[in-house]
Amino acid sequence: MNHESCHVRFSSHNNVLASTNNSVQLPYFGNFPAVASSVAGRFNGLVTELLNATADYAAGSARRFGTGEMEVDSGYSEGQFSNIFATAQCTPDLTSGQCRLCLAGAMAEMPRQVLSHNLTAASLVGERCGLQYAPYALYIGDTMVKLRTAGPQGKKSRTTPVLAIVLGVLGGVFGLTLIVLWVWRKKRSPRKTSLFINVEDMESFESIFIGLSTLQSATNNFDETNKLGEGGFGVVYKGSLPDGQEVAVKRLSESTTQGLGQMKNELALIAKLQHKNLVRILGVCLEEGEHLLVYEYMPNKSLDTIIFDPDKSKKLDWGTRFRILNGIARGLQYLHEHSQPTIVHRDLKASNILLDADMKPKISDFGLAKIFDDGQTRHATSRIIGTLGYMSPEYAMRGQYSTKLDVFSFGVLILEIVTGRRNNYALNTLYSQDLFCLVWKHWVEGTVAEIADPSLGRHYPMAEVLKCINIGLLCVQQNPTDRPSMSAIVAMLGSDTVSLEAPYRPAYVDRSRSYSETTERVKEELCSEPQTSITELSPR
């Protein structure tokens, strides 16, 4: 069934989409007037040009859809209209090449089936793709392809050469200005890698666009009862797709441009990543001003909702916690060493670790992530964003970040998972001990058992707990070069024979940037090493 705005096809067979060809093509004319016979040939040439350009765009876009518009000189239409509009579309499951081939076949049929009638509007729709044109807009939203005709032959204006010269000079000046600005920006920020993308141009997104109406139905029109959580840039809702699959839908706030940038960043990265310990993105919706991301649903929510709750944390026995640490480590190892290019998450924390039905961890929220170009090992930024308790000193104080920033954050996670305590840092309390100081104190005194999460009871292997504390302290060393790589960490966690280095006193970060030297000394004393030497570590 064909309509100007939609096309419906059904079949009693389950192979309705098995073929990629356009075997059945139906022209539709409606009650549109014919073009004046004196300009019919030239008009059909313009239509062909516009449809070809629109078809090229549609085949290259992720949605396999394109819109076009051409400004028409009055000499081509005898004053009947001033613009021609066009659409080209394939079913979104076709590849770019299959779509272009389908549309090329439709274009080949246009002269015989459609253009020979010299109508101002018509369409040709097949099983897999279709084309249409009209003297009025056929779509809602911005035009994707814009063309403009020159004046009819024999009616050139005498001002054309002068105008061409003026435009040429202006264009040259403008182009030179752009080159100068480009060189200047490259010199100012030679290492910056842009992650802001045009979703339409991303081949990675074919077949994951989901209609707004589908997501409205899935979430009961974003009902409050389906809310899973709320962050700085939007709300996350639980939903159920038509096939019964449960999903999490992140709805970006309309008032934040920073959130939109982070959404584009996340799309650019996560759609290309495939690992069992990274959350999967299932769809995206960019309709009617909405910006929605659809993720796989994690029934056990985020790690922070369990590990810091005295009652819920009892569900996490030591074996489960150890598996969670291993999963996070392997996910980070993939980002740092196996993905191309290298990716630094920059916001690893308990609330960004999601747990599936089997308590397997998945790293989420790549809005702040950065990629490293080949050969680069460190970046710097003047815009420090993230979560204080998980920031490494070099990043918090100087804006420097590398893969060792994520290693530091992972170390914080280890200590939180073992102790069940948040790394709270009291900026206004002079003598408060943060988690690092507390763990270090018990580590050097050999009393680690006293800080293990009480929810664990006494049913855990102390040797593994000691190993995790050791690794955690190595990860939060002051100097980034003293922190192990994620490959080394995975090896440490996975083997009882790998020898571990003794850690130094963990990093202290003056996150308020306003403490006096006296305050700095007091804090250092709280985390200082005892005067007596320690020859053997064992729990009391």
> Which CATH number do you get for residue 292?
3.30.200.20
Are both 473 and 344 inside the same structural domain? yes
CB-count burial class (<10 Å; 0-12, 13-18, 19+) for 429: exposed
Alpha-carbon distances, residue 213 vs 6, 237, 286, 288, 290 (angstroms): 15, 15, 12, 11, 11
Residue 158 lies in a domain: no
Structure tokens at 175: 């182009």
Beta bridge partners of 126: 25
Q: Report the binding-site residues for ATP.
A: 250
Helix axes 486-494, 403-419, angle to 10 degrees: 30
Residues 317 and 465 occupy one common structural domain: yes
Q: How far apart are CA 165 and CA 130, in angstroms?
A: 41
The number of CA neighbours under 13 Å toward the Cβ of 255 is: 3
Clarify whether residues 125 and 233 are in a common domain. no
- 319 in Cβ contact with 326 (< 8 Å): no
DSSP, collapsed to helix, strand or coil, labels residue 68 as: strand
Chain segment 373-417, per-residue pLDDT in tens? 655 567 777 678 788 889 999 998 888 989 999 999 999 999 999
Which residues is 123 bridged to in the sheet? Answer: 28, 132
Whether the CB-CB separation of 46 and 122 falls below 8 Å is answered with: no
Q: Is 243 a catalytic site residue?
A: no
Choose the final residue of a domain: 296, 318, 340: 296
Radius of gyration of the chain (CA): 31
Contact 371, 342 (CB under 8 A): yes
Last residue of a domain, one of 227, 261, 296: 296
In which band, very low, low, confident or very high, does the pLDDT at 354 lie, cut at 50, 70 and 90? very high
pLDDT reading at 27 higher than 80:
no
Decide if 357 is inside a domain: yes
The dihedrals phi and psi of 282, each to the nearest 5 degrees, come to -100, -25
Within 10 angstroms of residue 378's Cβ, the number of other Cβ atoms is: 15
Most confident of 270-274, 437-441, 470-474: 470-474
Q: Are residues 251 and 308 in the same domain?
A: no
- Token representation of residue 103: 């549309």
Distance CA 325, CA 465 (A): 12
Which CATH number belongs to the domain containing residue 46 in this structure?
3.30.430.20
Q: Active-site residue among 142, 201, 311, 347?
A: 347
89 and 208 assigned to the same domain: no
Q: Do 381 and 484 share a structural domain?
A: yes
Is residue 12 domain-resident? no
pLDDT for 284 beyond 90: no
What would the DSSP string read from start to end of 97-160?
HHHHHHHHHHHHHHHHHTGGG-BSSEEEEESSEEEEEESS--SSS--SEEEEPPPPTT---TTH
For residues 397 and 383, what is the distance between their CA atoms, to the nearest angstrom?
11
Q: Say which CATH number the domain at 370 has.
A: 1.10.510.10
- Dist. CA 352–CA 361, nearest whole Å: 10
Shared domain check, 436 and 318: yes
Are residues 143 and 49 both part of a single domain? Answer: yes
User: Whole domain around residue 204: which residue ranges?
Assistant: 199-296
Find where tokens 């790394």 sit.
423
Q: Which of 112, 84, 109, 102 is nearest to 17 (CA)?
A: 102
One domain, residues 323 and 456: yes
Q: What is the pLDDT of residues 474-528, one digit of tens each?
A: 999 999 999 999 999 999 999 988 889 999 999 764 444 433 343 344 344 446 5
**How many residues are recorded in the chain?**
540
Assigned domain for 168 exists? no
Q: Are residues 256 and 327 in the same domain?
A: no
Model confidence at 29, in pLDDT bands (50, 70, 90)?
low
* Average pLDDT for 18-38: 66
| Residue 362 belongs to some domain of the structure | yes
State how beta strands 65-71 and 145-148 pair.
parallel
Residue 425 has pLDDT above 90, yes or no: no
pTM exceeds cut of 0.85: no
> Which of 122, 148, 174 lies at the terminal end of a domain, its last residue?
148
Q: Verify that 486 and 375 share a domain, yes or no.
A: yes
- Joined tokens for residue 443: 């580590």
Q: Which has more confidence, 474 or 197?
A: 474
Least confident residue range of 236-250, 260-274, 326-340: 260-274
* 189 domain residue, yes or no: no
Element of type H or E holding 89: strand 83-90
Instruction: Tell me if 8 is assigned to some domain.
Output: no
Query: What is the rounded distance in angstroms from the CA atom of residue 286 to the CA atom of residue 522?
Result: 53
Detail the residues annotated as belonging to a binding site. Answer: 250
Question: How many structural domains comprise the chain?
Answer: 3
343 and 254 within one domain: no
Question: Given a cut of 50, is residue 73 above it in pLDDT?
Answer: yes
- Would 176 be classed as within a structural domain? no
